[in-house]
Structure 1
Amino acid sequence: MAGPTTQEPLKTQQKCIAIFALVCCFAVLLALIFSSVEIWDDEDGITEENCSRNCQIVLVENIPDELSLHMDGRLHFPLSAGFHLLLDQAKHSVEVVSSVWDLNSWDVEPIPSNAKQGQLLFQQLLSLKSRGVKLKIASTNTNSSELKVLQEHHAEIHFLNMKALTRGGLHSSFWIVDRKHIYIGSADMDWRSLSKRKELGVLVYNCSCLALDLHRVFLYYWQLHDKDYIPSIWSKRVTALYGKQDALELQLNATPATAYLSTSPEIFCSKDRTRDVEAIYQVIQNAKTFIYISVTDYLPLVKRSFRGTSVTRYWSPIDEVIREAAVLRGIRVRLLISFWKKTHPLTFNFVTSLKSLCMQLHNCSLDVRFFSQKEQKDDFQLGLNHNKYMVTDNAIYLGNHDWVGSDFAVNAGVGLVVKMKGGEDEGKTVLDHIKAAFERDWNSRYAKSLQGSKDQQGKYKHMKWPKDQRETKKENYWKNP
């Protein structure tokens, strides 16, 4: 009778020890997962509480020499000069996200004369080590010779397996320098972005509050290194600081404004992060008088594969809100799309549908033009308008995606929304500068309204372009990408 009585306290003690050990392990696990450790790595002691909101913003563009665009007397800040200026300012760290790394044009023979800017930028990236500046890169390009060279010069590189993560690709293109200055825009780390293609982006200086939030997007990518799945639980280190409901209040060139970052696809949106589609929707909904959109491709379709079967369906979020703005609210809408070798033929069908909305309506203005330079048979990217932005009477959206449903569904991208507050000086804000850039392109000789006729089945049988471009374009009308 005494035996079992003696063993019971011992068993109870063992259970208590086991439970205590489990509780301790669980507490440690929670502490690791939900740690609120500052993500600044003690760099300059910058935190959410003391970060800078008094910022400078500069519009940067690459306009190929082959394009003759009237600059309207405005200061044109070249993209390459902007990149060099960012690297010159770097004291501690440079963080870059880009899937493309081809600054040296090593795969082109002979090396083009206009590839010099890419080579200079690559050399400046290599020189960061000698200055004690850490270079971190997130990319998908595991076969890049340039990334291998940079790695040999002590750059830290993390690769994302986007095919496993989302069945898509990495379209994100942004820089963070010293976690104080940032770049977001359409350009890749490609010599073509600095010479042949028409690109647009912004540099934001001395804006550590915004840089802090963009760094959290970078950390999200950084922690996906070599993973084939997306964790269901994330640290607070990647939680968004600002969004469409609680945008950052700041000064841009001494003008009051608000700003926030958005991301896509949805599975890449950490806690409190606004999706790109939601950001675009909000900017369009808040427009009062005009909406100007400039993208390489516009195609409201999403293509998905399931068990070996490919299904394409209409993707409505952006297309519908554009129609609503023009028809129901009387907003003037202009859509500038690139016309190039990879333009999908269904683009013309959607464009025609959009333009037909205002045919019988007096208070409705929706115009579409296609931007195209004469293409050379062996160089379809020469003069390509690679821009990806929208500007309205009170806000801008600058992103990494073309407005194609599949891009937002599976490809990683980042957007920046800036809304100007009242009282700004006319013509002096970044909004005014981007609006002027759009109007310059819209009124240039490279922007043409597409006209055509249909056969009995409702399909276009030809497209009429000006005589000087008709022959170079007609062979591409019905080619799939």
Structure 2
Amino acid sequence: MVKRVLVYVVVWLLACLYLTRVAESSDRCKAWLVQSIPTDMPELPRISGVLSTGDVFQWLANNSTRSLDIIAQYWQLLANPKDPRSGDFGYSDSDLQRFGANLGALVYKSIDNAANRNVSIRLLSHSGVYPDYTKEPSDLAYGRSNVKNVTLLLSKWWGSGIVHAKVWISDDRDVYIGSANNDWKSLSQVKEVGIYLSGCSRMAREIKTYFDNLWRLASLDASTHTRSVSDQQWLINRTVPCWSHFLPTKARCRSPLPSYIDTPNVSPGYPSLSDPEMFRTDIETLPRNRSCPEPQPSYLSFAPPELLFGKHQSDEQGWIDTIKSVVEGGTVRINTMDWLGQSQYTNPKVYWSTFSSAVSEVVFSKNAKVKIIVAYWGHFIEATDGYLRSLLYSNILCSSSSSVQNKCFGQVEIRYYMVPGFNKTGPAVINGTKTGNSYPAYTRVNHGKYAVSDVRAHIGTSNLVWDYFFVTSGVSFGTYNTKFVLKLQEIFDADWNSPYVVPVQEFGQDV
């Protein structure tokens, strides 16, 4: 018996050694968390092993040899202090240096250098952002046959919505997914969180499929490929692509996209996947683990649902499944810029209780603690406060269940994140008069979008508002990788315990 065990151990060690050597001699799928931290936040602890967004963007461009695909909401990597329409207007060169504007110029130069190396580059952006946020990709493409630039107006396809995903794909193997825009301010004046995947060819190819679907939309005539539908799930009339599952079966067209989802008829809308595709890829994180464990699964999710393909989840389901993955008595951490229990841009409004219901469910069914950070900044949505306070009412309902046989011990805590200077942003000069603003417009905000339970991490590009999941482009990466989960918890906890957050009070508890 002892001899048999020894033989098993030797075989196991040899197998691990062999796999390690094979892995070291070939590309390994590696992952790092990525952050941007605004200047002038000295009391926010830095987390070891987390990369800088500006560095990652430069690496992706500088190391590309064949292809570089970028999805961006808008571009302003180069500061415009002399343009009266710009939020940078009126700031001096020394101001811009102090703000870290040079990081954007370095990223722009890295893309320009890749174009000069004859790398095949595709740039896809939202169309129509004021004042002139498509100039930089147009300049990069001008006179270069290897650089293609398109803009896409999703409102032509869904009635509202924008290209909001922030994705870089280099050589079909290295990827960035996260909250950072192609804007110098996203590198040094906005709190951002993302994921950098290196050598992850299989996942990169899937994300590129999503890119190809968006690219195809940009070349199609939306007027011939859209329909009006009485949406029975959200109880509104709205515009959708003609292959949408929100349309009756007989009214649908065949999808013109390179890849699309083929699901059984479910009315209304798209079904939740009980067994979404998981990547059984061994993602290496630092410090390296020399053991030989079973690879921990990872996944991708996408929005809106009409752009789904294969067996990937909708982005909404990816978020919800992460919240519900919390263990009994465990903790879910959620970070977002916006939280709204309705749509923001549709008319009429959609009531959207999906996220608040998921939070209440784990509080009651799993006695979970749910911690939520929401940004409070210069463009805060006032309706947010009412929805967050109503979510805190779960605590009262939970405690009132003490008379029931199975007591509820769960709890919701919510804090607003206030980056110093959030109320002093905008141009330095308007109509020749100094404004007293200390930072450029649309900065000093916690912009990350992620959730992490005890066992699962989810990093996305979407704010927690209905529009971002049903009419706006979004991409998320999720994983059960233990080290990744713990590191994302560290990032959240650093913010949660910092002096930059204040608690949201329940109704009737205002001081």
User: Matches of 1:271 and 1:161 in 2, distance apart?
Assistant: 25
AA aligned to 1:103 is: L
The answer on 1:344 being equivalent to 2:381 is: yes
The answer on 1:314 being equivalent to 2:351 is: yes
Report the CA distance shift for 1:286/1:73 in structure 2 as closer, same or farther (over 3 A).
Answer: closer
Alignment partner, residue 201 of structure 1: 194
Alignment partner, residue 398 of structure 1: 459
What TM-score, normalized by structure 2, do the two folds share?
Answer: 0.72
**1:417 Cα deviation (Å)?**
1.6
Report the CA distance shift for 1:210/1:240 in structure 2 as closer, same or farther (over 3 A).
Answer: farther
Q: Secondary structure at the match of 2:172?
A: coil
Alignment partner, residue 42 of structure 1: none
The answer on 1:437 being equivalent to 2:491 is: yes
**1:153 Cα deviation (Å)?**
5.2
AA aligned to 2:190 is: R
Contact 2:450 / 2:460 at 8 angstroms: preserved in 1? yes
Alignment partner, residue 163 of structure 1: 155
User: Matches of 2:49 and 2:311 in 1, distance apart?
Assistant: 37
Q: Secondary structure at the match of 1:387?
A: coil
**1:239 Cα deviation (Å)?**
4.4
User: Matches of 1:96 and 1:203 in 2, distance apart?
Assistant: 14
Report the CA distance shift for 1:138/1:72 in structure 2 as closer, same or farther (over 3 A).
Answer: closer
Contact 1:243 / 1:273 at 8 angstroms: preserved in 2? no
Alignment partner, residue 390 of structure 2: 353
Report the CA distance shift for 1:377/1:452 in structure 2 as closer, same or farther (over 3 A).
Answer: farther
AA aligned to 1:186 is: S
Q: Deviations over 1:143-200 (max 9, x none)?
A: 5211211111521112212120112111111011100111000001011101110111
The answer on 1:291 being equivalent to 2:332 is: yes
**1:313 Cα deviation (Å)?**
3.4
**1:235 Cα deviation (Å)?**
6.7
**1:132 Cα deviation (Å)?**
2.4
User: Matches of 2:136 and 2:212 in 1, distance apart?
Assistant: 22
* 1:22-171 paired onto structure 2 within 5 Å: 54-71=28-45, 74-106=48-80, 107=86, 108-109=88-89, 110=91, 112-113=96-97, 114-141=100-127, 143=132, 144-152=134-142, 154=144, 155-166=147-158, 167-171=160-164
Alignment partner, residue 259 of structure 2: 238
Report the CA distance shift for 1:200/1:271 in structure 2 as closer, same or farther (over 3 A).
Answer: same
**1:72 Cα deviation (Å)?**
5.8
Alignment partner, residue 410 of structure 2: 364
Which one has the largest radius of gyration? 1
Stretches of structure 2 lacking an aligned partner (at least 5 in a row) = 1-25, 81-85, 226-240, 244-253, 263-272, 400-407, 427-438
User: Matches of 1:271 and 1:250 in 2, distance apart?
Assistant: 18
How high is the sequence identity, in percent, across the aligned residues?
Answer: 21
**1:257 Cα deviation (Å)?**
1.8
Alignment partner, residue 370 of structure 2: 333
Contact 1:138 / 1:222 at 8 angstroms: preserved in 2? yes
Count of aligned pairs between the two proteins: 395
Match of 1:302 among 325, 333, 343: 343
Q: Deviations over 1:24-68 (max 9, x none)?
A: xxxxxxxxxxxxxxxxxxxxxxxxxxxx99410011101012112
Alignment partner, residue 278 of structure 2: 247
User: Matches of 2:211 and 2:119 in 1, distance apart?
Assistant: 17
AA aligned to 2:139 is: V
Stretches of structure 1 lacking an aligned partner (at least 5 in a row) = 1-51, 455-459, 465-481
User: Matches of 1:73 and 1:204 in 2, distance apart?
Assistant: 18
Match of 2:321 among 282, 290, 297: 282
User: Matches of 2:300 and 2:260 in 1, distance apart?
Assistant: 12
Contact 2:425 / 2:442 at 8 angstroms: preserved in 1? no
Q: Secondary structure at the match of 1:407?
A: helix
Contact 2:172 / 2:205 at 8 angstroms: preserved in 1? yes
Report the CA distance shift for 1:240/1:53 in structure 2 as closer, same or farther (over 3 A).
Answer: farther
Q: Secondary structure at the match of 1:363?
A: coil
Q: Which moved more, 1:145-154 or 1:316-325?
A: 145-154
**Alpha carbon RMSD of aligned pairs, Å?**
2.5
User: Matches of 2:202 and 2:143 in 1, distance apart?
Assistant: 30
Report the CA distance shift for 1:158/1:345 in structure 2 as closer, same or farther (over 3 A).
Answer: same
Q: Which moved more, 1:143-152 or 1:118-127?
A: 143-152
Q: Which moved more, 1:150-159 or 1:389-398?
A: 150-159
Report the CA distance shift for 1:57/1:271 in structure 2 as closer, same or farther (over 3 A).
Answer: closer
Match of 2:183 among 190, 200, 219: 190
Alignment partner, residue 503 of structure 2: 449
The answer on 1:411 being equivalent to 2:401 is: no
**1:267 Cα deviation (Å)?**
2.1
**1:302 Cα deviation (Å)?**
1.9
Contact 1:243 / 1:260 at 8 angstroms: preserved in 2? no
Match of 1:216 among 205, 209, 218: 209
Contact 1:53 / 1:250 at 8 angstroms: preserved in 2? no
- Which structure shows the higher strand fraction? 1
Q: Deviations over 1:201-258 (max 9, x none)?
A: 0100111010011010011011112432346434784247999523111111166221
User: Matches of 2:296 and 2:386 in 1, distance apart?
Assistant: 38
Alignment partner, residue 17 of structure 1: none
Contact 1:302 / 1:406 at 8 angstroms: preserved in 2? yes
User: Matches of 2:305 and 2:110 in 1, distance apart?
Assistant: 35
Alignment partner, residue 45 of structure 1: none
Q: Secondary structure at the match of 1:91?
A: coil
Q: Which moved more, 1:104-113 or 1:281-290?
A: 104-113
User: Matches of 2:257 and 2:183 in 1, distance apart?
Assistant: 34
Report the CA distance shift for 1:243/1:189 in structure 2 as closer, same or farther (over 3 A).
Answer: farther
Contact 1:53 / 1:208 at 8 angstroms: preserved in 2? no
Q: Secondary structure at the match of 1:319?
A: helix
Report the CA distance shift for 1:146/1:303 in structure 2 as closer, same or farther (over 3 A).
Answer: closer
**1:399 Cα deviation (Å)?**
0.9
Report the CA distance shift for 1:220/1:449 in structure 2 as closer, same or farther (over 3 A).
Answer: same
User: Matches of 1:438 and 1:246 in 2, distance apart?
Assistant: 27
Contact 1:95 / 1:176 at 8 angstroms: preserved in 2? yes
**1:354 Cα deviation (Å)?**
1.6
User: Matches of 1:219 and 1:210 in 2, distance apart?
Assistant: 14
Alignment partner, residue 448 of structure 2: 387
Alignment partner, residue 24 of structure 1: none
Q: Secondary structure at the match of 2:78?
A: coil
